[in-house]
């Protein structure tokens, strides 16, 4: 099928593309859908897949060329990619994977069960198959899982003019031209430096690559976590990051577009976890209701069960509440202070961990900082609470407690709970990272729920220490 150049077509919103596809699908005009999608860029089709029903996705996907289908599989969420791959015959799927960048193709293979993956891989040429198998040995969230092995490299004894001639006469992907990786020789491929494209263009044609190469190289190993890859690319403003083994042998590169995709995915997951929501990748309005309900109710149910301990804590102090009823009026004030301070601290620490501003080994510095910050915040809020509690009408006190005693209890409790919430909110993300979990699991609802329960205990313990009648 003849495709017209994509640059002749203006970009449209996913909703507009999906609406046009849906109208063509429902029409009785022969070839309407095929003619329509021939004018869309594969990226536009991929984005529109989120807006389409499963049957509509399948019908569109069957009409795409192998190159276009590869772009779609690379861009859509894993759930949609898995469904489309499942419906595609083995031979066709192998052709699509072969047309994709090796790193993206390996990701698609990982979506298949082992038996299906073996059948599909049997149709892929040997050289490309070796690249895929190499990438599959690394975890999907590591530098090795993100890298692409097809990299532009050259030996250090090659002349500039020779490399320039090679680039002119070879169809090198644009994203591989940011850097030329200089190695000791083509056999061992030990990385010794890099040459940027502008530096190559300005260099003397007779110069050797080893003489103009930049020797100070930022590299990562194949098992480096993707969060660290994102941090390094952002910190050093790199267009690509080389991946090497323990002998500095060049394995591949992680390009900036892959890093951007990881950063967006990580940010989305962190935002969902911070809001107490299990990962949801589908379109908000078109996602299956039951699927979204299952993800949201799971987290809410866990938090609800945890909040039941608040009831147990209040029941334990039933006698204290009965003696001095006015104490119950300030419970929401005290425990909300702890939840707010904890959520604030958790958000700051999670961001600092993500950006590499804080290391686990610096936990004592974080602890010292948050103790001082918690005290400062607690004293500030405690002063406000003292003023508010001292203005409590005398008829509410009912002679069971003096106004200054109530003010002292409330202000001290607010200060102590604020400090406790700050310590919990800052310490929990670091503990989760130490245990190998995502720090974002220390979400605002989780921290608030934990501090609610413990805050009640702190509140009534301080009340018992200050008011003689509760001892």
Which residues neighbour 227 within 8 Å (Cβ) at sequence distance 6 or greater?
266, 354
Say which residue the tokens 């002063």 belong to. Answer: 383
Give yes or no for residue 116 having a pLDDT over 70: yes
CB 250 within 8 Å of CB 419: no
pLDDT value, residue 348: 85
Q: Tokens for 316?
A: 């334990």
pLDDT value, residue 7: 45
pLDDT value, residue 286: 60
pLDDT value, residue 444: 64
Helix (H) or strand (E) holding 128: helix 126-136
Phi, psi (deg, nearest 5) at residue 250: -70, 120
Q: Tokens for 377?
A: 């915040």
First to last CA, the chain: 86
Say which residue the tokens 């260099």 belong to. Answer: 203
Grouping H, G, I as helix, E, B as strand and the rest as coil, residue 383 is: helix
Q: Apex CA 389: angle with CA 387 and CA 390, to 5°? A: 65
Give yes or no for residue 334 having a pLDDT over 60: yes
Q: Per-residue pLDDT tens for 22-52?
A: 888 887 776 788 888 888 888 999 888 888 8
Give yes or no for residue 172 having a pLDDT over 50: yes
CA distance 345 to 442: 10
Lowest mean pLDDT among 316-320, 428-432, 461-465: 316-320
Helix (H) or strand (E) holding 193: strand 191-196
CA distance 400 to 380: 28
pLDDT value, residue 156: 92
Q: Per-residue pLDDT tens for 2-24?
A: 444 444 445 578 888 888 888 88
CA distance 416 to 52: 53
Q: Tokens for 428?
A: 């929990």
Domains of the chain as residue ranges with CATH: 6-146 (1.25.60.10), 153-254 (3.10.580.10), 289-470 (1.10.357.20)
pLDDT value, residue 2: 44
Give the model's confidence band at 267: pLDDT under 50 very low, under 70 low, under 90 confident, else very high: low
CA distance 349 to 62: 47
CA distance 65 to 72: 11
CB burial of residue 127 (10 Å; 0-12, 13-18, 19+): exposed
State the helix-helix crossing angle for 66-75 and 90-99, rounded to 10 degrees: 80
Integer Rg of the chain from CA: 30
Q: Percent helix, strand and coil across the chain, each rounded to 5?
A: 65, 5, 25
pLDDT value, residue 9: 47
Grouping H, G, I as helix, E, B as strand and the rest as coil, residue 333 is: helix
Grouping H, G, I as helix, E, B as strand and the rest as coil, residue 222 is: coil
CB burial of residue 59 (10 Å; 0-12, 13-18, 19+): middle
pLDDT value, residue 85: 92
Which residues neighbour 186 within 8 Å (Cβ) at sequence distance 6 or greater?
153, 155
Give yes or no for residue 283 having a pLDDT over 60: no
CA distance 460 to 441: 29
Lowest mean pLDDT among 119-128, 130-139, 184-193, 444-453: 444-453
Say which residue the tokens 């400062």 belong to. Answer: 376
Integer CA distances (angstroms), 345 to 66, 330, 351, 425, 429, in order: 49, 23, 10, 5, 10
Q: Which residue blocks in 180-255 are alpha helix, DSSP H?
A: 197-202, 209-212, 226-236
Other beta carbons within 10 Å of 391:
9
CA distance 64 to 60: 7
Q: Per-residue pLDDT tens for 52-66?
A: 888 889 999 998 999
Q: Tokens for 415?
A: 């200060």
Lowest mean pLDDT among 126-130, 297-301, 340-344: 297-301
pLDDT value, residue 206: 92
Lowest mean pLDDT among 13-17, 64-68, 96-100, 403-407: 13-17
């Amino acid at each position: 099928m003849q495709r017209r150049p994509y640059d002749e077509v203006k970009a449209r919103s996913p909703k507009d593309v999906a609406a046009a596809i849906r109208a063509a699908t429902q029409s009785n005009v022969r070839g309407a859908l095929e003619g329509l999608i021939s004018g869309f860029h594969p990226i536009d089709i991929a984005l529109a897949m989120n807006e389409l029903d499963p049957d509509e996705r399948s019908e569109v996907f069957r009409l795409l060329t192998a190159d276009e289908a590869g772009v779609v599989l690379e861009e859509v969420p894993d759930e949609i990619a898995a469904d489309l791959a499942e419906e595609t015959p083995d031979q066709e799927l192998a052709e699509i994977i072969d047309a994709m960048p090796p790193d993206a193709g390996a990701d698609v293979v990982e979506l298949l069960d082992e038996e299906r993956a073996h059948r599909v891989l049997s149709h892929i040429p040997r050289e490309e198959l070796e690249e895929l198998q190499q990438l599959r040995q690394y975890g999907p969230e590591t530098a090795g899982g993100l890298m692409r092995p097809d990299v532009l490299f050259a030996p250090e004894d090659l002349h500039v003019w020779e490399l320039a001639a090679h680039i002119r006469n070879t169809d090198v992907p644009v994203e591989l031209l940011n850097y030329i990786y200089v190695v000791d020789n083509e056999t061992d491929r030990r990385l010794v430096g890099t040459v940027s494209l502008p530096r190559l263009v300005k260099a003397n044609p007779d110069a050797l690559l080893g003489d103009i190469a930049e020797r100070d190289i930022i590299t990562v190993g194949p098992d480096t976590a993707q969060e660290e890859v994102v941090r390094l690319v952002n910190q050093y403003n790199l267009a690509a990051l080389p991946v090497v083994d323990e002998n500095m042998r060049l394995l591949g590169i992680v390009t900036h577009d892959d890093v951007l995709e990881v950063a967006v995915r990580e940010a989305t997951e962190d935002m969902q976890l911070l809001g107490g929501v299990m990962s949801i990748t589908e379109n908000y309005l078109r996602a299956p209701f039951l699927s979204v309900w299952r993800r949201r109710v799971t987290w809410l149910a866990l938090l609800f069960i945890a909040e039941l301990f608040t009831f147990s804590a209040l029941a334990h102090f039933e006698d204290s509440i009965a003696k001095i009823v006015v104490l119950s009026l300030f419970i929401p004030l005290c425990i909300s202070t702890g939840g707010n301070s904890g959520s604030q601290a958790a958000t700051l620490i999670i961001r600092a961990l993500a950006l590499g501003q804080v290391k686990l080994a610096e936990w004592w510095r974080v602890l010292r900082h948050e103790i001082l910050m918690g005290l400062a915040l607690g004293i500030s809020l405690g002063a406000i609470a003292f003023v508010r509690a001292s203005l409590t009408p005398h008829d509410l006190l009912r002679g069971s407690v003096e106004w200054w005693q109530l003010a002292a209890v409330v202000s001290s409790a607010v200060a102590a709970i604020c400090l406790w919430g700050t310590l919990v909110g800052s310490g929990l993300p670091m503990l989760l990272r130490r245990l190998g979990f995502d720090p974002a699991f220390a979400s605002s609802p989780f921290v608030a729920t934990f501090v609610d329960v413990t805050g009640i205990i702190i509140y009534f313990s301080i009340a018992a220490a200050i008011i003689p009648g509760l001892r």
